Amino acid sequence: MRTLAFAKRNGKELFRDPLTLFFGLGFPLVLLVMMTVIQNNIPVHIFELNTLAPGIALFGLTFLALFAGLLLAKDRSTAFLARLTASPMTASDFLLGYLLPMLPMAVGQSVICLGAAVALGLPLSWNLLAVVASLVPSALLFIALGLLCGTMFNDRQVGGMCGAILTNVTAWLAGIWFDLSLMGERFKAFVYLLPFAHGADGARAALAGDWAALPGHLLWVSVWAAALMALAVWLFRRRLVER
């Protein structure tokens, strides 16, 4: 009950800031429309909706790291979190309280992005539901990254790490704008050690109905998400002990 009450409070804090709604929902839609307009006015197929829409949906989830990190970092900088440490809540309870309100936001972001893609010409199919489900491990990954940064850094540092740096790294290393093979096989092999390209490829596999390829991508992202969340819990527990 304490964790749910804490999660409810965090959800209210997230939706209290209009910038959250703009960057989390509006900015990916702007990119999707812009790329689609560009594709409609060039003779080569670069930004086709069947590959672009799942990538943009993944890109939108990167902002979850920013929201989670800023909320945790701001709470750490005030007396609010210090007062909560007197409660029986554990480090896992605290981070779960930050994670829970992020998940409905993640699903909402994915649904809105894919709905916009359908309005722009993406065929409507049941596979779109599979795309939303396939993006959940990526959402957990970005939330874990945000909680890790929020535990380690102050709110200004989190803004830089989870804002400009993470969004750009994800956009490039997930192959959202271009085929990763264009960067050479060595670079591609390195990128696929990371979870971002697997997240995008998993969403594209779900849209295409490539069920054989989907589990491998989801497993890789899930392992990264679990490892980062475990690290965030461990560091947060150490911070609680230091207090």
| 154 — pLDDT class (breaks 50, 70, 90) | confident
Mean pLDDT computed over 167-188? 85
**Which pLDDT value is given to residue 21?**
67
Contact 202, 187 (CB under 8 A): no
The per-residue pLDDT of the chain, averaged, comes to 86
Contacts of 136 (CB under 8 A, 6+ apart): 103, 106, 107
pLDDT digits (tens, 9 = 90+) for 13-34: 877 777 666 766 778 888 888 8
pLDDT digits (tens, 9 = 90+) for 39-51: 777 776 777 888 8
Q: Where are the chain's structural domains? A: 2-242
Q: Higher pLDDT residue, 6 or 224?
A: 224
**Which pLDDT value is given to residue 85?**
65
| Distance separating alpha carbons of residues 38 and 83, to the nearest angstrom | 52
pLDDT digits (tens, 9 = 90+) for 83-135: 666 667 777 888 888 899 999 989 999 999 999 999 998 999 999 999 999 99
Contact 113, 207 (CB under 8 A): no
| 160 — pLDDT class (breaks 50, 70, 90) | confident
Contact 162, 146 (CB under 8 A): yes
